[in-house]
Structure 1
Amino acid sequence: MKADLHGYLKDGRETLLWKLDGLGEYDIRRPLTRTATNLLGLVKHAAVGEILYFGVVFGRPFEHELPYVGEGAEPNADMWATADETREEIVDRYRRAIAHADATIDALGLDAVGRVPWWREQEVTLHHVLVHVTAETQRHVGHADIVRELIDGGVGLLPGHGNLPPVDEAWWRDHHRRVEQAALDAAARGE
């Protein structure tokens, strides 16, 4: 069971990093929602999650302090990259956070107990944390998928596995038109 859960987490991590491929600095950083969701910020945030949940929660601190997390940190500072933070630094930190998290996952049994100080019910097991972080990572992969599609139309689950029907651009334009028309027709009926 642990290997299955860990496998889903690994897939999500790989996809999240893949969403950065082929894009320039502006595109990986630009905010595409009202809340400023951006690709590099999602990676930075995912690194924080891995560090906190698989490090702090199980008494296995990460090698470096994160100035954009905790008391005194600017709200949402882990959700975007400053101009001085490089893609390489953030991706490297995420990879190191993953290695640290994987060491915790490998070292502990699913029933190992940890403590989440920022939760109301603070006592958790590795199983609970593994499910939680996997769900959160996959949620952020969904965000990244939409953001990437808004940037350049790129979609897909994993490199080489687009998981969408093999159709051309004309089909997508027609499909988009049909979905838009259905929305307009439903609105006209008052639904």
Structure 2
Amino acid sequence: MDGKETLHTYLRIRRDNLLGKLDGLGDYDMRRPLTPTGTNLLGLVKHVASVELDYFGVVFGRPSGRHLPWLEDGARPDADMWVTADESFEDIVELHRFAGTHSDATIEALPLDAPGSVPWWPEERRQVTLQQILVHMVAERAHHLGHADILRELIDATAGQRPGDPNLTSRTPEEWAAHRAEIEGAARDAAGTWRN
């Protein structure tokens, strides 16, 4: 695999991983805010799809033609980070797939050193290459996938990329509770020992 193919593969994997975090959830659980700032699973999918469309579209003079009202001037702040009741799960998944297809076409059409310009970045950093944007978007997706991992675990204790994920220690719910209690105990002991 060459460098472009490697980056593209990682981007595709992260796309699938993020959608996988929605598997088996009802509308409420995938939309509900689980942090003080309102972070929610379906909103993360909407956000990353929207961002990907711009980075592999606008930046390389290949606009998708897709109207995203939540990114327009005058839109409510953070409107791309949550999903209104009028937006269906299917709408967001379709947007995510559309963004992937559009991005894939740009990636396949251009060499890694293809120049682009990010109009929303500071002037001194605006000029980029496809390689920079591929790295940026793999990092962006991984960043938000980390958020999604934690949100999904808060909803129903599902952890890892898939059932039986070899990166997770195999424990029963009781063993996880004991493990967590041990960590909590260590944190309390340290709080009594060390100054914060």
Question: Does TM, scored on the shorter chain, surpass 0.5?
Answer: yes
Aligned-pair RMSD on alpha carbons?
1.1
Displacement of 1:116 in angstroms is 0.1
Q: Deviations over 1:89-127 (max 9, x none)?
A: 010011001000000000000000000001111100000
Q: Post-superposition shift, 1:157?
A: 2.0
Other-structure match for 1:98: 100
| Contact 1:14–1:158 under 8 Å retained in 2 | no
Is 1:150 the equivalent of 2:154?
A: yes
Partner residue, 1:25: 27
What letter is aligned with 1:28? M
Cα deviation, residue 190, structure 1: 2.6
Structure 1 gap ranges (5+) = none
**2:181 maps to amino acid:** R
Query: Is the 8 Å Cα contact of residues 155 and 162 (structure 1) preserved in structure 2?
Result: no
Match in the other structure for 1:174: 178
Q: Paired residue for 2:126, among 105, 122, 126?
A: 122
Residue aligning to 1:136: 140
* Aligned pairs for 1:70-85 within 5 A: 70-85=72-87
Kindly state the Cα deviation for residue 160 of structure 1 after the two structures are TM-superposed.
5.5
Q: Which secondary structure does the structure 2 equivalent of 1:68 belong to?
A: helix
Gaps of 5+ in 2: none
* Letter aligned with residue 135 of structure 2: V
Asked if 1:39 is matched to 2:48, the reply is: no
Q: Secondary structure in 1 aligned to 2:119?
A: coil
Whole-angstrom distance in 2 between the partners of 1:180 and 1:159: 26
| Percent of matched pairs sharing the same residue | 56
Query: Per-residue deviation at 1:64?
Result: 1.6
Deviation at 1:161, TM superposition (A): 3.0
Aligned to 1:114, what secondary structure does the other structure show?
strand
Contact 1:48 1:78 in 2 (8 A): yes
- 1:2 equivalent in alignment to 2:16: no
Counterpart of 1:178 in structure 2: which amino acid? E
| TM-superposition CA deviations, 1:163-190 (whole Å, max 9, x none) | 2111211211111011000100010013
- State the distance in 1 between where 2:53 and 2:138 align: 13
How many aligned residue pairs are there? Answer: 191
Partner in structure 2 of residue 185 of structure 1: 189
1:52–1:76 Cα change, 3 Å? same
Q: CA deviation at 1:148?
A: 0.4
- One-letter code aligned to 1:144: A
**Superposition misfits of 4+ residues, deviation over 4 angstroms:** none
Find out whether 1:13 has 2:35 as its counterpart: no
Please give the alpha-carbon distance, in whole angstroms, between the structure 1 residues aligned to 2:140 and 2:164.
Answer: 24
TM value normalised by structure 1: 0.97
